Chain A
Amino acid sequence: MTTKKIHILPFKASVEVEAEALILDAVKKAGLPLQAGCGGEGTCGECVVRILSGNYDRQGSAALPQELVIEGYALSCRTRIRDDLTILLPEFEELSIQSRIPDALPDEGSISGSLEVAPPVLSLELTVPAPMLEDNFSDLHRLEREIRKEIPLDTLGCEFPALKRLSGALREKNGRVRVVISIAPSGRDGTILAVRPSGGGERLLGMACDIGTSTVALHLVDLGNGGIVASASSLNQQIKCGEDIISRINYALKPGRLEELQSLIRGTVNALIARAAAAADVTAAEIYYASFSGNTTMLHLFLGLDPRYIREEPYVPAVNRVPEVKAGDLGLDMWPEGRVFLAPAVGSYVGGDITAGLLYTPMLQRDDAVSLFIDAGTNGELVVGNKDWLVTCACSAGPAFEGSGIKCGVPATQGAIEKLEILGDGTVDYATIGRGKPKGLCGSGLVDLLAGLFVRGLIDRQGKFIGKGGKGRLMETDEGRGFLVEEAAACFWGKALVITENDIANLIRTKGAVFSACALLLKNLGLTWERIEACHIAGGFGQNLNIENAIRIGLLPDLERDRFHYLGNSSLQGAYLILRTDKNKRLVAEVAKRMTYVELNTEPGYMNEYTGSLFLPHTDMDLFPSVRDLLELDRSEPRS
């Protein structure tokens, strides 16, 4: 039997399999994520890959439209390997479109973090005088002398690999060298990371990365001016080991699994680095500093720390404030002696994604006004407070608004329906990211869909389909009743987009968990909704979130609309702010220290609040006067 080599992009993974094996099996053998909901029957169309080169034998399947076949797509469960192949997992291909990168930096006053550029590493062009008999100090001593002329430092160390290259580098261009020095947050202690002869044209780069439970996103940053040079995001490869953090922690319990999870997230980050570096035409070794943010469990898995005790009472993490780590120790594709900073966590269920995210809101500098910060990720987190105090809690929201666990849900990437409206005549008007054929709905589209179904009277307050409206779009599916969003022929995968009652129930549970946690937290503090003067929303909903619709379904409270601010991925932006200046690093440490964590599990009123929130918008309509007025107005209008 002959073996064939399969290269799998964008992971740069290679795997050897026997000829005539299925591509699906090769991908599985490589340990990479590829879904096949139908179990390899060739009917679901989920396991599609794009074949970039090589010979293969493809069996036809109705699940793949002809126009995709022409473009080189194939169902991996129906395609046998003839020759060495290079394939691309399309989910990752499409994810290169960032979910939300702000075009411009925010105004200085609109965020709490500083926008100055004072990064933790700097590079110096120096001329080190050649040694002489009268000046016979060592190479390192003479270099240090020149560095100290430029920047006053109490201590100055040197990484061993830099030392090894020092003498050669000093003599190559008559003492003209470029030195990269990392500066500790004190500002008084430095370490030489690299010494090179001048004129290599290298850039001084840093990266900011948000490790989400479902999605990982990264900015590559020019540390000279603080500008973002490239961005990339993709699914967290750990997702095949469980969708939520509890499942991941559970998965990690068995021997060898923690290493597997760590290697998966390392692979995800390194693939993103490679993609971003390629886009910006730089090399990964020019990255000298990395700033990470993520929830506590993700940071544990990234560091390879046992997350087990996060899940067990009394819910204690191994560490909240991680000392700076060397990139080489974590296997990151960047300068090995470069430093890695992780935004500090508050506790097991409020992590560095939240402390970093707060830098991207103005709430840390508000004097008296109370703000609310909602991060509606897979694990939902809330923060209430101002300059003087911050109270935080977590709730298990689930990944529904990130497109997981919903049959027609997708992450906010190319082909996702991000905006949707059900018109009066029952037709559905929508827009996809990238304007192509739809692949599914991302969080913002799902919010619009749920609100549309509700306001148009197609579902009742419990999310059950009612009546025979919807112009023939209401239908029976394998999973009960559903609503046809778009028919098969118009969809990217040639499969109709349908939302079922199960999906709706899942979305209602998610929005109910978020809202009830907010309500309970405010109640605990003796605050009313009216006191919330600004409400900052983060999460993987997509480019934009229709606030009106989010209120109609009861995800957000019924406050004046101008109090709401949608931030997108505030965790990534926070990590980026930390990278820009050490001032923000000090701020995030201070913020983590003064946040007060409240455990909602032990609150007697939680189930009560939660159950009340499992309706559209809520059992208590007095909480949503604008929605009540809208529904009453709607009822009083004659129906055609």
Chain B
Amino acid sequence: MALSGLEIFKLLPKTNCGDCGVPTCMAFAMKLAQKKAELAECPHASEEANAALGAAAEPPIRLVKIGGANALEIGNETVMFRHEKTFFHPTGIALELRTSQGKEAIQETVKSIEAYVPERVGEDMSTDLFFLEHDSEDGADFAAAVEVIKENSRKGLILSCGDRAALKQGLELLKDDRPAVFLREKLADEDIELAQAFGAALVLMAGSLEDLEAQAAAAREAGLTDIILNLEARDTGELLRNNTILRRGALKSAFKPFGYPLLSRIRSESPFELLAEASISVCKYSSIVVLPAIYDTALLYTLFTLRQNIFTDPQKPIQVDAKVYPIGEPTADSPVFVTTNFSLTYFMVSGEIENSGISAHLVICDVEGQSVLTAWAAGKFVGETIAKFIKDIKLEEEVRTRKLVIPGFVSQISGDLEDSLPGWEVVVGPREASDIPSFIKSVSLT
């Protein structure tokens, strides 16, 4: 269990010597608690502190990597809910491939998946892994399929094969690619040997929490570290329940056998149930979602979008680009509004100007994504900086308007802004965006 700053403080020398680079022992303890520092930075830490902190420092959910270069990292999560801090590692989306499909079909799917990289708010979105299921008679099919995938893609692989000899052939081909092996049966000694020999992660599959705990404990006992848990669920409700129990066990009770990333295989037939189940997995704690062997870009795009939303860092404000945005079809004589580049601010202000039915220029200043008052308090949204931005973007060459509407919350900067922006008249707008339409009706803005 993670120690609080106060608990760590009690283990430190309490001399406030500053040799760790932080002014007080308490400050250092709080950094340690937030995992923003290492105990080794304190030259005076005792043996006792090292032992206690070492035990507490083990992450509650193990970080596991799958794949060679650009490996997918999963696990290492620290909270139940995104708003408590953030979720660190986005769910890996894996597409199932079956040897029974034949080499050609597999190659075609892999190529289409490789080509499907849609962009959303400046970020490329794609699947992360392939899940290869051996379901044909011939053991040689398996290695052949691995070869085809490897030739056409650099994504990581999860291998599922009942025939250990065939599995071994497949693993031989992936020596430097850190694959994962999905166990169709209970963990056996041979599996552990194989995983250790090839540096592969093991996906433990179980039908009950007790079974899963026993297998995970055995794998830990054998010295395996790269473990992924797959607890089979009969329906979506059970999936949610299982995943919640496992995550709570790992985080709240520091129950080590459950301190590994989770994998869910989605098996529903109907596209809607499939999407529902996959969405639940993305939102609630699955680190890998394995989709059935259907290539459906509508489904993928939906999941990508959901994943992007869940795994953005809520601590970092979402920003829009600093520039002049046209609202409607503004001319050189349309009104000019100015506000900050916090995305919510932008969306609300632009939406309300649009609602008013007029066309206008909306100048968005870069304040590192802060809201109006926060940016003002930090000196980022003041007369000087706004005037500089307006000059830098040469707004005066684009518009003939010489009135600038500022947010009502920063009415106090109007004098400074006028001084810094000769020739312009500053108009103090309303405090709330929702009052923009009525404001526009009551004031002359050009």
**Which residues of B are found within 8 Å of A595, using beta-carbon distances?**
24
What 0/1 pattern do residues 275 to 313 of A give for CB contact below 8 A with B? 000000000000000000000000000000000100111
**Interface status of B25 (Cβ within 8 A of chain A):** yes
**Interface status of B6 (Cβ within 8 A of chain A):** yes
Contact across chains for A250 and B382 when beta carbons are under 8 A apart: yes
Beyond the given A595-B24, A604-B84, could you list 9 further A-B residue pairs with CB under 8 A, ordered by the A residue number?
A: A246-B376, A247-B412, A250-B379, A250-B412, A311-B378, A312-B379, A524-B5, A525-B5, A604-B86
Q: How far does the Cβ of B421 sit from chain A's closest Cβ, in whole Å?
A: 15
Contact partner, B6, options A308, A526, A597, Cβ 8 Å: A526
Contact across chains for A389 and B9 when beta carbons are under 8 A apart: yes
Contact partner, A598, options B30, B84, B384, Cβ 8 Å: B30
Instruction: Please measure, in the bound complex, the distance between the C-alpha atom of A141 and the C-alpha atom of B236, giving whole angstroms.
Output: 96
Contact across chains for A527 and B26 when beta carbons are under 8 A apart: no
Q: How far does the Cβ of B11 sit from chain A's closest Cβ, in whole Å?
A: 13
Instruction: Please measure, in the bound complex, the distance between the C-alpha atom of A391 and the C-alpha atom of B29, giving whole angstroms.
Output: 11
What 0/1 pattern do residues 513 to 537 of A give for CB contact below 8 A with B? 0000000000011110000000000
Question: Of all chain B residues, which has the CB nearest A251?
Answer: B412
What 0/1 pattern do residues 357 to 392 of B give for CB contact below 8 A with A? 000000000000000000011110010100000000
Contact partner, B377, options A242, A246, A594, A597, Cβ 8 Å: A246
Instruction: Please measure, in the bound complex, the distance between the C-alpha atom of A593 and the C-alpha atom of B22, giving whole angstroms.
Output: 12
Contact partner, A604, options B16, B23, B314, B379, Cβ 8 Å: B314
**Which residues of B are found within 8 Å of A254, using beta-carbon distances?**
416
Q: Which A residues fall within an 8 A CB radius of B?
A: 242, 246-247, 250, 253-254, 308, 311-313, 385, 388-391, 396, 524-527, 593-598, 604-605, 608
**Which residues of A are found within 8 Å of B14, using beta-carbon distances?**
388-389
Within 8 A of A (CB), among B4-40: 4-7, 9, 14, 16, 23-27, 30, 33
**Which residues of A are found within 8 Å of B314, using beta-carbon distances?**
604
**Which residues of B are found within 8 Å of A246, using beta-carbon distances?**
376-377
**Which residues of B are found within 8 Å of A396, using beta-carbon distances?**
377
| 21 pairs of residues in contact across A and B, judged by CB atoms under 8 Å | A242-B412, A246-B376, A250-B412, A254-B416, A311-B377, A311-B379, A388-B9, A388-B14, A389-B14, A389-B24, A525-B4, A526-B6, A527-B4, A593-B16, A595-B24, A596-B26, A596-B27, A598-B30, A604-B84, A604-B85, A605-B83
Question: Of all chain A residues, which has the CB nearest B15?
Answer: A594
**Which residues of B are found within 8 Å of A247, using beta-carbon distances?**
412
Instruction: Please measure, in the bound complex, the distance between the C-alpha atom of A311 and the C-alpha atom of B376, giving whole angstroms.
Output: 10
**Interface status of B442 (Cβ within 8 A of chain A):** no
Question: Of all chain A residues, which has the CB nearest B384?
Answer: A253
Contact across chains for B30 and A596 when beta carbons are under 8 A apart: yes
Instruction: Please measure, in the bound complex, the distance between the C-alpha atom of A312 and the C-alpha atom of B382, giving whole angstroms.
Output: 12
**Interface status of B438 (Cβ within 8 A of chain A):** no
- A311-B378, A312-B379 as given contacts; A594 in contact with B16, CB under 8 Å: yes
**Interface status of B270 (Cβ within 8 A of chain A):** no
**Interface status of B444 (Cβ within 8 A of chain A):** no
**Which residues of A are found within 8 Å of B27, using beta-carbon distances?**
596-597
- A312-B378, A596-B24, A604-B315 as given contacts; A525 in contact with B84, CB under 8 Å: no
**Which residues of A are found within 8 Å of B7, using beta-carbon distances?**
526
Chain B residues touching A, majority SS: helix
Contact across chains for B30 and A389 when beta carbons are under 8 A apart: no
What 0/1 pattern do residues 65 to 105 of B give for CB contact below 8 A with A? 00000000000000000011110000000000000000000
Chain A residues touching B, majority SS: mixed
Instruction: Please measure, in the bound complex, the distance between the C-alpha atom of A421 and the C-alpha atom of B378, giving whole angstroms.
Output: 41
**Which residues of A are found within 8 Å of B24, using beta-carbon distances?**
389, 593-596
**Which residues of B are found within 8 Å of A594, using beta-carbon distances?**
16, 24, 26
Q: Which B residues fall within an 8 A CB radius of A?
A: 4-7, 9, 14, 16, 23-27, 30, 33, 83-86, 314-315, 376-379, 382, 384, 412, 416
Contact across chains for A527 and B6 when beta carbons are under 8 A apart: yes
Q: Which of A253, A308, A391, A598 gathers most chain B CB within 10 Å?
A: A391
The total of Cβ contacts below 8 Å across the A-B interface reads 66
Q: How far does the Cβ of A606 sit from chain B's closest Cβ, in whole Å?
A: 10
Contact across chains for A608 and B83 when beta carbons are under 8 A apart: yes
Instruction: Please measure, in the bound complex, the distance between the C-alpha atom of A605 and the C-alpha atom of B82, giving whole angstroms.
Output: 11
**Which residues of B are found within 8 Å of A524, using beta-carbon distances?**
5, 30
Instruction: Please measure, in the bound complex, the distance between the C-alpha atom of A276 and the C-alpha atom of B315, giving whole angstroms.
Output: 51
Instruction: Please measure, in the bound complex, the distance between the C-alpha atom of A95 and the C-alpha atom of B294, giving whole angstroms.
Output: 80
Q: How far does the Cβ of A399 sit from chain B's closest Cβ, in whole Å?
A: 15
Instruction: Please measure, in the bound complex, the distance between the C-alpha atom of A144 and the C-alpha atom of B247, giving whole angstroms.
Output: 78
Contact across chains for A391 and B377 when beta carbons are under 8 A apart: no
Instruction: Please measure, in the bound complex, the distance between the C-alpha atom of A388 and the C-alpha atom of B9, giving whole angstroms.
Output: 10
Contact partner, B23, options A388, A596, A598, Cβ 8 Å: A596
Contact partner, A389, options B26, B378, B416, Cβ 8 Å: B26
Contact across chains for B25 and A389 when beta carbons are under 8 A apart: yes
Question: Of all chain B residues, which has the CB nearest A388?
Answer: B14
**Which residues of B are found within 8 Å of A308, using beta-carbon distances?**
379
Q: Which of B25, B26, B30, B33 gathers most chain A CB within 10 Å?
A: B26
Instruction: Please measure, in the bound complex, the distance between the C-alpha atom of A402 and the C-alpha atom of B378, giving whole angstroms.
Output: 24
**Which residues of A are found within 8 Å of B16, using beta-carbon distances?**
593-594
Contact across chains for A313 and B378 when beta carbons are under 8 A apart: yes
Q: How far does the Cβ of B26 sit from chain A's closest Cβ, in whole Å?
A: 4
Question: Of all chain B residues, which has the CB nearest A254?
Answer: B416
Instruction: Please measure, in the bound complex, the distance between the C-alpha atom of A391 and the C-alpha atom of B4, giving whole angstroms.
Output: 14
Question: Of all chain B residues, which has the CB nearest A604?
Answer: B315
**Which residues of B are found within 8 Å of A525, using beta-carbon distances?**
4-6, 30
Q: How far does the Cβ of A254 sit from chain B's closest Cβ, in whole Å?
A: 8
Question: Of all chain B residues, which has the CB nearest A347?
Answer: B23
The 8 tightest CB contacts between A and B, nearest first, are A526-B4, A596-B26, A604-B315, A596-B27, A312-B379, A389-B26, A596-B24, A525-B6
Instruction: Please measure, in the bound complex, the distance between the C-alpha atom of A524 and the C-alpha atom of B30, giving whole angstroms.
Output: 8
**Which residues of B are found within 8 Å of A389, using beta-carbon distances?**
6, 9, 14, 24-26
Instruction: Please measure, in the bound complex, the distance between the C-alpha atom of A242 and the C-alpha atom of B86, giving whole angstroms.
Output: 38
Instruction: Please measure, in the bound complex, the distance between the C-alpha atom of A308 and the C-alpha atom of B382, giving whole angstroms.
Output: 13
**Which residues of B are found within 8 Å of A593, using beta-carbon distances?**
16, 23-24
Q: How far does the Cβ of A71 sit from chain B's closest Cβ, in whole Å?
A: 37
Q: How far does the Cβ of A258 sit from chain B's closest Cβ, in whole Å?
A: 15
Q: How far does the Cβ of B365 sit from chain A's closest Cβ, in whole Å?
A: 16
Question: Of all chain B residues, which has the CB nearest A246?
Answer: B377
Instruction: Please measure, in the bound complex, the distance between the C-alpha atom of A385 and the C-alpha atom of B378, giving whole angstroms.
Output: 29
**Which residues of B are found within 8 Å of A385, using beta-carbon distances?**
26
**Which residues of A are found within 8 Å of B384, using beta-carbon distances?**
253
Question: Of all chain B residues, which has the CB nearest A603?
Answer: B315
Q: How far does the Cβ of B143 sit from chain A's closest Cβ, in whole Å?
A: 48
Instruction: Please measure, in the bound complex, the distance between the C-alpha atom of A253 and the C-alpha atom of B86, giving whole angstroms.
Output: 38
Contact across chains for A605 and B6 when beta carbons are under 8 A apart: no
Question: Of all chain A residues, which has the CB nearest B85?
Answer: A604
**Which residues of A are found within 8 Å of B23, using beta-carbon distances?**
593, 596
**Which residues of A are found within 8 Å of B26, using beta-carbon distances?**
385, 389-391, 594, 596
Instruction: Please measure, in the bound complex, the distance between the C-alpha atom of A250 and the C-alpha atom of B377, giving whole angstroms.
Output: 9
**Which residues of B are found within 8 Å of A596, using beta-carbon distances?**
23-24, 26-27, 30
Q: How far does the Cβ of A383 sit from chain B's closest Cβ, in whole Å?
A: 12
**Which residues of B are found within 8 Å of A253, using beta-carbon distances?**
384, 416
Instruction: Please measure, in the bound complex, the distance between the C-alpha atom of A355 and the C-alpha atom of B33, giving whole angstroms.
Output: 26
Instruction: Please measure, in the bound complex, the distance between the C-alpha atom of A524 and the C-alpha atom of B416, giving whole angstroms.
Output: 39
**Which residues of A are found within 8 Å of B83, using beta-carbon distances?**
604-605, 608
Question: Of all chain A residues, which has the CB nearest B313?
Answer: A604
Q: How far does the Cβ of A307 sit from chain B's closest Cβ, in whole Å?
A: 11
Question: Of all chain B residues, which has the CB nearest A391?
Answer: B26
Instruction: Please measure, in the bound complex, the distance between the C-alpha atom of A313 and the C-alpha atom of B14, giving whole angstroms.
Output: 29
Instruction: Please measure, in the bound complex, the distance between the C-alpha atom of A391 and the C-alpha atom of B26, giving whole angstroms.
Output: 8
Instruction: Please measure, in the bound complex, the distance between the C-alpha atom of A595 and the C-alpha atom of B14, giving whole angstroms.
Output: 12
**Which residues of A are found within 8 Å of B9, using beta-carbon distances?**
388-389
Contact partner, A526, options B5, B376, B378, B382, Cβ 8 Å: B5
Q: How far does the Cβ of A512 sit from chain B's closest Cβ, in whole Å?
A: 16
Instruction: Please measure, in the bound complex, the distance between the C-alpha atom of A391 and the C-alpha atom of B5, giving whole angstroms.
Output: 11
Instruction: Please measure, in the bound complex, the distance between the C-alpha atom of A525 and the C-alpha atom of B30, giving whole angstroms.
Output: 8
Contact partner, B84, options A242, A391, A605, Cβ 8 Å: A605
